[in-house]
Structure 1
């Protein structure tokens, strides 16, 4: 079987190919014959789990795709997902002082109120005979609103978040074969505009402290290795803002949309959730496992390394196929491809693992939990038409652009 990560047919349904790779070519070497640069791909859970927990061998500091140096191309500030320990460890610890589970939990009331308002609008549109799109009208609106709340963005500035997140998502999905020329136009302008806006907001928080996430990051400090106080620079905070907006919006939206799509295809599992809402926390993990929003990201080898008897030379791009690893029957048993909201999942890779475990995982789970609680309570019969939906065309993220929905109560 030929593996081409940017083939539209594979993007539509990558899982049979993943299964073949796991069984026949788990340390796959992809040549440049189809136009993509050469790289390696790890598809089994154990191999990916081990690799992402060894940043000294599998480095994130040379970019996360197999195309080119997207860090230098975009002129991005340093950020958690594109740094290695020990610098990444110190930066993560400082950011953690401001981005706490408590601060995220305080958003619950605002999130729930917003979700209910979106559901009311969707129900009204359905009653009026208008089409409803689950992803555009519901899933994608939630993280945009939540991030604006979290950062303390003024009401009059919140409309700017939508175009930013759309443009940044388009950067990840701009055509099937990326090259440096695609990182221009709207994408570059969005990065420049967003970083300029947050630079102004950071300066304002330094001059006028406020109790929001930006204010907390400006004030965060900890003892450094030499005993002196360490604080985040403006450039450090900008890097975090970029990661949260670029990586925390579409992935969370996709979790919500994927969950409803999975329940549409498994009405028995939907009924289990309706009968026992206590299963929802575990079901969210199962949705993430089966349809990982991030299908894979690359690392670069810092030295020659042997994986399952195959030697990968230093300086090679290695794609960690989270989407394949999360369906590996060697880890999840013979029903790994089936939805089971009662499945016990001690570990998975939807949020990666090790030093790059997603720092925003608690925020993503909170948003998704509230979204499903309110959606299934108000519209327990909601279904989506995946055949009429439109997917992102990306080798790295799996998500929706649009997803028509039906079965909303009036």
Structure 2
């Protein structure tokens, strides 16, 4: 007997391997209603690429202003004004324009030397531990520290303050992975308050004197004579930490895992390292760090013959859309480092296309260039790893190396 397919982000088994269910949802129920349950009102899920692509590019119908999860009071839980990711045009457009003047691809590219030096130092540490017979945790030793280092450098956090910054990032990442349920996260509220207090003082200092960092650039940014408020800058700091740390870390770890499972694809990268930038996009497509985020309908809308009422949360299931054979063909579930898709949704699209995408891609590109150059046969052991227990983010807490012989060379 064929069972009815259901989108079950609350189910641990589903979260461990959502892809078979995604395939059935795309075929059998691409616009899927999830009934009300305790604490979560009725919501809907879009799983086909074309539907998600259109929805995220139509903010007038699919609004971000009511939060990005299916929880009803997500913004109130945060205890701060709505951030840029929880605003709609035209307010979001103006704020993004101001931020974009500071958060430029050139500013990110200027970090390349620092990132490369940092990655090499982490690889050296991994090699040293492997030679000593210790367990080498790829996620904890390389993937996770990398974006924390980049965030601290971008925001102008001095070396003397980074011992405090790293735990803030870790706590806020856990809050984000739990769907911003900060009241349920031990230390989450305290970490947010401490980080916001720290950056409030840093902003005040930069209003008094110039600093050549992203925070200083945000303070100085102007559009038609208008500058960002303290709350705008604080909100952006929060978005960078919540959205730019663990997602990038998981991108690196996912890539290592995918290459472990597809050794022929690894050989292609070893033969032609010029394929690595495109491979990073392929890693993102196959294992989207952000699996799903919500919008709220502003009006009744019909998609694929199914009508969604107004004022309903609708999950944009990026993890499913990015594997849709209707967009990527029969090999949609397979790694192909030579694939050059015209479109993908790992960074969303439209007004909320990830403003930190350049930084994430550069970090991953450098990580794989250096890792494959130093240890071309390194593998991961995902069976021994620990995944996040999250309804919205797919990633790792721990990912041990597999074959350590190459690391100890």
Once superposed, which parts of structure 1, at least 4 consecutive aligned residues long, lie more than 3 Å away? Answer: 33-37, 177-181
User: How far off is 1:139 after superposition?
Assistant: 0.1
The partner residue of 1:140 within 141, 144, 148 is 144
User: How far off is 1:179 after superposition?
Assistant: 5.9
Q: For 1:77 and 1:19, how far apart are their aligned partners in 2?
A: 37
* Secondary structure of the corresponding residue to residue 33 of structure 2: strand
User: How far off is 1:36 after superposition?
Assistant: 4.4
User: How far off is 1:358 after superposition?
Assistant: 0.2
The partner residue of 1:249 within 245, 248, 263 is 245
Query: Is contact 1:379-1:409 (8 Å) kept?
Result: no
- Residue matched to 1:354: 350
Q: For 1:11 and 1:122, how far apart are their aligned partners in 2?
A: 30
Change in 2 beyond 3 A, CA 1:165/1:36: same
The partner residue of 2:259 within 263, 268, 273 is 263
Query: Is contact 2:47-2:316 (8 Å) kept?
Result: yes
The size of the alignment, in residue pairs, is 402
Query: Is contact 1:303-1:314 (8 Å) kept?
Result: yes
- Residue matched to 1:90: 94
- Residue matched to 2:184: 182
Change in 2 beyond 3 A, CA 1:252/1:125: same
- Residue matched to 1:65: 69
Query: Is contact 1:167-1:187 (8 Å) kept?
Result: yes
Cα deviation 1:165-222 (Å, max 9, x = unaligned): 2111211334xx9867415x41111111111100000001011211111111111102
- Residue matched to 2:133: 129
* Secondary structure of the corresponding residue to residue 331 of structure 1: helix
TM-score normalized by structure 1? 0.96
- Residue matched to 1:315: 311
- Residue matched to 2:368: 372
* Secondary structure of the corresponding residue to residue 392 of structure 2: coil
- Residue matched to 1:209: 210
Q: For 1:144 and 1:35, how far apart are their aligned partners in 2?
A: 33
TM-score normalized by structure 2? 0.96
Query: Is contact 2:7-2:45 (8 Å) kept?
Result: no
Q: For 1:100 and 1:371, how far apart are their aligned partners in 2?
A: 21
- Residue matched to 2:387: 391
Query: Is contact 1:68-1:179 (8 Å) kept?
Result: no
Query: Is contact 1:78-1:235 (8 Å) kept?
Result: no
Q: For 1:202 and 1:180, how far apart are their aligned partners in 2?
A: 25
* Secondary structure of the corresponding residue to residue 383 of structure 1: coil
- Residue matched to 1:102: 106
Change in 2 beyond 3 A, CA 1:298/1:56: same
Q: For 1:323 and 1:138, how far apart are their aligned partners in 2?
A: 24
* Secondary structure of the corresponding residue to residue 101 of structure 2: helix
User: How far off is 1:80 after superposition?
Assistant: 1.6
Q: For 1:21 and 1:376, how far apart are their aligned partners in 2?
A: 37
Cα deviation 1:117-172 (Å, max 9, x = unaligned): 01101100000000011111110000000111111111110112221121112113
* Secondary structure of the corresponding residue to residue 132 of structure 1: coil
- Residue matched to 1:77: 81
Q: For 2:154 and 2:289, how far apart are their aligned partners in 1?
A: 22
- Structure 2 stretches lacking a partner, 5+ long: none
- Residue matched to 1:150: 154
- Residue matched to 2:27: 23
- Residue matched to 2:122: 118
Cα deviation 1:25-64 (Å, max 9, x = unaligned): 0000001358743210000000000000000110101011
**Considering only aligned residues, what root-mean-square deviation do their CA atoms show, in Å?**
1.4
Cα deviation 1:283-336 (Å, max 9, x = unaligned): 111000000000010001111111111111111000000000000000000010
User: Is 1:339 aligned with 2:340?
Assistant: no
Q: For 1:344 and 1:180, how far apart are their aligned partners in 2?
A: 39
- Residue matched to 1:409: 408
Q: For 2:82 and 2:99, how far apart are their aligned partners in 1?
A: 13
* Secondary structure of the corresponding residue to residue 73 of structure 1: helix
Query: Is contact 2:250-2:396 (8 Å) kept?
Result: yes
Query: Is contact 1:164-1:190 (8 Å) kept?
Result: yes
